[in-house]
Chain A
């Protein structure tokens, strides 16, 4: 019975070795190309003294063990002997650290950065927007308790890599960064571009609070109809009127378009500000170049605020009943 257990364990060990060595092969091959590597975790420039003392160990994984070689002589007993003398060398040098995958990732990234450090960069603000994985997602991916601070150090390297001039970005870096990006990136989902229909109308939809608005914009001379009524009839406050046509007013286009709007839901403030968004979207169909100006005017971003729900035990969303001593 004992014998059978040992045999099972052995076969399992051999299996895992085989599998690991296959996975690590590519990595070791890459590492051999990227010599010399340092072990330091920090991204700061290492001091020259350290560099002198650090010996660069050439590292190779253990060869797959050949059980068949001795088979002819000793049979099964020979195999056991070899196993007894076997010293398993792990595939990765960070195998004995607490977070081997993270350490490997970090080291490979810092090595990559060292390699491409001389390439020209662009400012961070102009670099393409990337949604990196959060520390939680990374922890789940690696199944290691990675510290947030360490992860952020890695993110620093990634952001630096992202700042390489896009035209000179090596394929290697692109591949390496892919591992740390979220599956969906900002700008992945592109809305369908609006069209001007055969009557010259451009449509836009906007929402705010519980109101939603649809606006049609045609070239004209500044006439506005909202739900079939004029602007003054529909919106009593001057503030609301200005809000409704703010996209046109802020870009100086009030006298160039006619506007038809349909608004529903909510109160007058919500309706007016829903119109702002709808008009801005319709205007962008006519003149896409106005987008930055409209963004500066605050007509692009949907205000996500809504009424906060009431909670049990509260009188309103947050108000608690009066505290009574007895």
Chain B
């Protein structure tokens, strides 16, 4: 017969394993028989719990609910104020005091902006144009303006093509048939599409055109601003009062020279009364002040601009694929509103598609984006077929298994038509001469510390994917190797 002592120790064996673990952990962890000596492999490692320290040897342990100043809350630095970080993110810096002044840099002016002799040169943007471009939000945070003393642009091959289009438009404006030139800027990522659009805007400002720019199409359709159905429209359209007011204010600031002189010549139906002898500037100011009147004011402004003798108009938009699909806004049936049902977008797309012509001639420019672009199969298809027409290759076939957005297809149908004047302007890589020119500008600004010779230019040109200007800047200015 075993002794009582022996039995007790056996029972103790199974007890002391349970005695130290809490009830919860008993369920969580696999129980191991106490008389097994093999290690329980793959068992969850037992975490030490915080605050489960043993009782102090001396004194009493008291509850301390105050936040300890030393251990957990070390950084007592000042937190950024509300909105400060966003402002930092969105800030556009156009000059760098540490960069050297480039002595050979010539400014673009009204006289020389249309000349083809500028090809391959880096040209500075004059101060008033920079202000106007800032007003229409043509500069982006992702562009490298902050590296140089003042904004300057490379007059690349595509820029010269664009400038020639401006010249054509101006020439036709003098004649009887006023042409509306419509172009979509496409090309690879970081290829300089937005900068080319900016060059177009600056040309328009220099040539004293009237400029309306939609700085980012995403902002129109992402349902961040208020919207309301437009009365008397069928099918129903939606106005965006706040956004339109903002657009009016940008336009007013950017086209200051025009508004100084412009007067009201027509009779407009407005929800607010205009003071007598009001100028066009006052009309727009009313639209800015009363957001609900902004869309009628915009229409009134457009009517004024349509009168004969008014300047040519440049309509520009950035991030085209956002407005070539359903917007984020919902209608009364909680269905997505198509972007073309928003009044501002409709206004732009009508002119881009050729449904309406600019009354005094001018240009409609739309830039696509490759980094911030929702998929728009119809837009991609139309652009591809336009490229196929240019290269005289076989036209692409529509993939029947993708959902087709017929409104986009119809709006851009001129792209597939060789006779229509809607076309793509492909922004490709720089040539080696252009790359050399811009790299010499980098070097003269002191941002590229290397001798600019043929082998160096070719190396950077190759590494930048055959002259992709964004990559070229990234390789030579942003990264110091």
Contacts and interface: CB of A to CB of B under 8 A. Distances in A.
Interface of A: 221-224, 230-233, 238, 241-242, 245, 249, 252, 254-255, 321-326
A321 B41 CA distance: 7
Contacts of B190: 232
A321 B466 CA distance: 51
Interface in B221-264: none
Given A238-B475, A252-B455, A326-B32, A232 B41 contact: no
A249 B459 contact: yes
A180 to B, nearest CB: 50
Interface string B30-51: 0010000001111101000000
B465 interface: yes
B462 A245 contact: yes
Contact of B463 (A221, A233, A242, A252): A242
Contacts of A233: 188-189, 465
A301 B280 CA distance: 75
Contacts of A252: 455
User: Which residue of A222, A223, A224, A249 has the most chain B CB atoms within 10 A of its CB atom?
Assistant: A222
Contacts, number: 67
A238 B462 CA distance: 12
Contacts of B424: none
Nearest to A232: B465
A245 B468 CA distance: 17
B454 A230 contact: no
Interface of B: 17, 32, 39-43, 45, 188-190, 429, 432, 454-455, 458-459, 461-466, 468, 471, 474-475, 479
Contacts of B479: 238
Contacts of A326: 17, 32, 39-40
A224 B466 contact: yes
Contacts of B43: 322, 324
A223 to B, nearest CB: 6
Chain A CB within 10 Å, residue with most, of B41, B189, B432, B465: B465
Contact of A324 (B17, B41, B455, B461): B41
The secondary structure that dominates the A interface is: loop
B466 to A, nearest CB: 6
Given A233-B465, A238-B474, A322 B459 contact: no
A231 B463 contact: yes
A233 to B, nearest CB: 6
A271 to B, nearest CB: 16
A222 B465 contact: no
Given A238-B475, A324-B43, A232 B459 contact: no
14 contacts: A223-B462, A223-B466, A224-B465, A224-B466, A230-B468, A231-B464, A245-B463, A249-B459, A255-B459, A321-B42, A324-B39, A324-B40, A324-B43, A326-B39
A204 B18 CA distance: 68
A324 B465 CA distance: 55
A230 B40 contact: no
A326 B464 CA distance: 60
Contacts of B189: 232-233
A232 B471 contact: yes
Contacts of A325: 39
A268 to B, nearest CB: 15
A231 B462 contact: yes
Given A230-B468, A326-B40, 18 more contacts: A222-B461, A223-B466, A224-B465, A231-B462, A231-B464, A231-B466, A232-B188, A232-B464, A232-B465, A232-B471, A233-B189, A238-B475, A252-B455, A254-B455, A254-B459, A255-B459, A322-B42, A324-B45
